[in-house]
Chains A and B, each alone.
Chain A
Amino acid sequence: MSLFFKNTLKLEGQIDEYLDLVIKGGLVFRQGIKCYLDHQTDDFENYLKELRKIEERADDLRRNIEIKLYTRTLIPEARGDVLGLMESCDKALNITTETLLEFSVEIPKIVPEHRQDFLDLCETSVACMENTVSGIRSYFKNIDAVRDYVTKVQFYKKETNKIAEKIKRAAFRTDDALSQKIHIRYFTFHIERIAEQSEDVCDRLSIAIIKRFE
């Protein structure tokens, strides 16, 4: 049986590896931001490098999976959904890399009063991403659980929005220069995008599970 399913099991392994990379990307991003806020520049740069590698590897894997799904005409009715989910999940990973890169390039000034809020913002955004990945994993094996993860993502996304709003309100009520205020808003917005993108993936996921059995 294992010989019969050899290729399928290999592909399953690749999909799992891809999703592992997305999770890992989120964790690296969170650690990177923490290092930035704690002014540990070398560690921050290392995390950025690591995240870039993860993104590249994830891109390769995704392309490989896409090619296999198409050339072997696997899961014909769900192929579009699976590829759509993986591509939009990839976008979330790309946003984490872009955001960390922007931190590295633009070196935004984040005052100590905003430190915890930024950490919380990262925490909830990455939680969104992690739950999205768990949702995708469940889509393949345990459809009943998908709903729970989608609900969690929606919850964390709202929390992210709340924290982002809090940061922006606080930033625009200081005597700092307008450029500084806009800079803070810009970075808040970027971290928030991770959650937004995760929610998009979950919207696709909700439809994809309906199509599987209903």
Chain B
Amino acid sequence: MADLSTWFFISSGLFLGWSLGANHAVNVFGTAVVSKMVKFRTAALISGVFVVLGSIISGAGTTRTINDLGPINAIAGSFSVALAVAISVTAMTRAKLPVSTSQAVIGGIIGWNMFTGSPTDLDSLSRILSSWIASPIIAGVFGYLLFKLLKRTVLTWRIHLLELDQYTRTGLIIVGALASYSLGANNIANVMGMFASAPLFSDLSIGGIIEVSGVQQLFFLGGLAIAVGIFTYGRNVMETVGNDLYKISPLTGFIVVLAEFIVLTLFTSETIESLLLRANLPSIPLVPLSTTQAFIGAILGVGLAKDPHSINFKVLGKIALGWIVAPVSAGLITFISLFFIQNVFEQKVIYPVPYELSRSVLTELKDLGVPTEPIAPLRGKRFTNKKVLRNELLKRHPYTNTQIYSIFQYAIIDSFRIDSNIVNAQLSGSFLTAEQMSILKANHGKSFPHKIDIEQFLLRTEVSAPPTGNKLSDKQNDEQRRTIEQAFRAVQRN
């Protein structure tokens, strides 16, 4: 079991889970509750159960962890980010404004990057920023079209008001439960992902039939925190959106959550993308969408379809302002709390990661268009402090943020070592052919300091296929290459 300090650090994750539940309850059951179709307690209960289920069943598989967004590798650092995000989301909840937790997390990570001197992945950042605009627009269009379609259907099929009421009620509960499930599945990594490596729980076997991993137990705890958030504080934000922004009727409430759910499923589901690709159909571009913004967008879409004058644009402006304030404040709080945690409580907020500009790194960077002449003298020199490396780079050439990010990405020493035991134990019977397996075994003991080195080796030896231009096969190849790399990674980074 973990020591007390680990539990203390996890408390910030639970706090974040609670604040997420409090703020996001509106997205899944808000319209059902404000339109008086489902009682708050019933909604909170269904939502809580499905959030927990989503967290345990699908949450463990999600790759959208906080670590993917930024390389936070020390638990005290994770604690600060989670705490800062939780504080800013709670403040927004107190102000009865729905915000996106993922965006607040981005703010927190940028704060961490600024404090530790880590470069920020501008590509990811701009993708996320574009989702601020894309989410409400796409969901708005869906909301608008769904309203028109449903209105026409109700009028053409002459559905009795009471039957429509029954359909709507059932629909609200089903869509709310599904949305709760995906809320748990998609957000649990934000809440608990950063603590997944802490040895908190040992794997459990229930009656020898159901195996529950330690991570799943941790995610269960996180899911419970979200559920408690929904139950204890979820009502507040519901009232702002339901009563102030736009008067929501049960049918429009159903359309809003349905539009939100469809948009999020269509535009973020890799399963649907691969199904479409497999069927040789054009795939829908995957965009990172925010639940909260999709929800607000859907409300606006339905509002515009009904009567544009019925939308309270003042409240809408306040909500949009909250979307900017939340990440900015999360970033600032992270920066300040990291300062205190590092200097006052003397906790490590980042573990040093070594960087080296080897020949292969410089060649790869050159191919990428990054000027390498100015930094050629740094070849072979190791850096364990990000700030020092960054200053060295900038001293030699005015690199752009993207270029610095690329240099950091390539120069990081990851240490991979090919091991025939691992080939037999982990890769046998997988996607690798017998020939590919024997190539790997023949290279037993070979080590690579950089990710690009092992990548080039795998491509050169044809263990991994080069890009073909086919979206589906390229994606599969990338995933397979990642699996091999992960298996041979000598130092398992979080």
Contacts and interface: CB of A to CB of B under 8 A. Distances in A.
B162 interface: yes
Contacts of B161: 75, 78, 82, 139-141, 212
Interface in B279-326: 306-307
Given A77-B250, A213-B151, A12 B36 contact: no
A73 interface: yes
B250 A76 contact: yes
A12 B166 CA distance: 12
B155 A74 contact: no
A207 to B, nearest CB: 15
Q: Chain A: interface residue count, which band?
A: 20 to 34
B162 A12 contact: yes
A140 to B, nearest CB: 5
A95 interface: no
A73 B166 contact: no
A76 B37 contact: yes
A141 B249 CA distance: 18
A8 B166 contact: yes
A139 B158 CA distance: 10
B288 to A, nearest CB: 34
Contacts of A144: 155
Contacts of B162: 8, 11-12, 15, 74-75, 140
B311 to A, nearest CB: 14
Interface in B17-34: none
Contacts of B158: 141-142
A75 B36 CA distance: 9
Interface string A90-115: 00000000000000000000000000
B381 interface: no
Interface in B164-194: 165-166
B149 interface: no
A176 interface: no
B155 A77 contact: no
Contacts of A15: 162
B493 interface: no
Given A12-B160, A77-B249, A143 B37 contact: no
A214 interface: yes
B123 interface: no
A11 B155 CA distance: 21
A77 B250 CA distance: 7
20 contacts: A4-B166, A5-B163, A12-B162, A12-B163, A73-B36, A74-B165, A75-B162, A76-B36, A77-B35, A77-B36, A77-B250, A82-B161, A139-B161, A140-B161, A140-B162, A141-B159, A141-B161, A143-B155, A213-B151, A213-B306
Interface of B: 35-37, 151, 155, 158-163, 165-166, 249-250, 306-307
Given A8-B163, A12-B163, 5 more contacts: A5-B166, A12-B160, A74-B165, A76-B250, A140-B161
